[in-house]
């Protein structure tokens, strides 16, 4: 009797520099266990240089990786490396996913889906007006997500106004002076912080929420700490909030489905495990 060849485990991972802080391995490991999938999701540190990145991707493809998530500072490197690029990745100018196949490496940006789904969890009818703080790579994904959700009046404020003007031209936005950001929220439906302000080890985000519509949603893409000063202030004033953990979980879904071939569910059990992991790391 001929024995059936054993099927190799699915291999995937997250690439960045540094990368050991990432919660993505925790998320994918939980989902793989739930689905009964024989697979491994590994953190892979690669120096910032593009040539180093390209060599690492070639090696991962050679050993049979199904794909990888990409984090700072390699999101633009991933776009450059890819053989095919999705429309979302093109518009953001960055990719947080590479999927490997015989046809090559396909780049995607699931941050857009991640933020949109995190907002839908909290607000089924998000309204029309938004103020986005920050004009970096993360802001681009958030802006596209807001467009997907139907927002038509989007304002942007950034400490360097020139960068805000660049995005305003690309996405048809209204530029708000950074020093007057707290005065531009009286009729908005969602406020989103995409800056590093409020993150562990960074200065706090100084923002006066007094003029904010009581029904407005407040979102912060930071997840360390889980509740930034902005989100604490918003909750104290009765606003619904979205933290960076929600976006992180939802952006992981497309990668898991593509690479591990199984369903991935964002729920309270997963959220609870991630909160415990952040507490273990002293970052909750």
Q: Which residues are catalytic?
A: 75
DSSP H/E element including 108: strand 104-108
| 39 three-class SS | strand
Tell the residue number behind the tokens 């925790």, with chain if given.
26
Distance CA 57, CA 60 (A): 5
**For 252, which DSSP code?**
H
Cα dihedral sign for 192, 194, 195, 196? positive
| HSE of 72, CA atoms in CB hemisphere, 13 A | 7
User: Burial code of 58-82, b = ≥16 C-beta within 10 A, e = fewer?
Assistant: eebbeeebbbbbbbebbbbbbbebb
Contacts of 98 (CB under 8 A, 6+ apart): 57, 67, 68, 70, 78, 81, 82, 105, 106, 107, 108
Q: Could you give the CA distance from residue 213 to residue 185 in angstroms, rounded to a whole number?
A: 8
């Amino acid at each position: 009797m001929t024995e059936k060849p054993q099927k190799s485990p699915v291999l995937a991972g997250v690439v960045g520099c540094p990368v050991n802080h990432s919660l993505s391995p925790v998320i994918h490991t939980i989902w793989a266990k739930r689905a009964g999938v024989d697979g491994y999701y590994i953190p892979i540190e690669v120096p910032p240089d593009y040539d180093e990145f390209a060599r690492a991707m070639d090696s991962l493809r050679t050993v049979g990786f199904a794909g990888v998530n990409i984090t700072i500072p390699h999101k633009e490197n991933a776009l450059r490396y890819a053989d095919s690029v999705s429309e979302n990745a093109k518009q953001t100018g960055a990719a947080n996913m590479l999927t490997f196949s015989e046809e090559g490496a396909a780049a995607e940006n699931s941050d857009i889906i991640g933020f949109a789904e995190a907002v839908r969890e909290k607000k089924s009818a998000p309204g029309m007006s938004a103020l986005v703080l920050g004009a970096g790579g993360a802001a681009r994904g958030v802006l596209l997500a807001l467009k997907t959700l139907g927002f038509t009046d989007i304002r942007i404020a950034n400490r360097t106004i020139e960068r805000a003007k660049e995005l305003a031209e690309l996405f048809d936005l209204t530029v708000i002076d950074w020093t007057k950001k707290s005065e531009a929220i009286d009729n908005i439906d969602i406020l989103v912080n995409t800056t590093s302000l409020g993150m562990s080890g960074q200065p706090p985000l100084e923002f006066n929420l007094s003029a904010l519509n009581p029904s407005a949603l407040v979102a912060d893409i930071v997840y360390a700490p889980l509740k930034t000063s902005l989100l604490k202030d918003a909750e104290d004033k009765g606003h619904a909030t979205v933290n960076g953990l929600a976006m992180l979980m939802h952006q992981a879904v497309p990668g898991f489905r593509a690479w591990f071939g199984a369903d991935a569910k964002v729920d309270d059990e997963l959220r609870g495990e991630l909160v415990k992991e952040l507490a273990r790391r002293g970052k909750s």
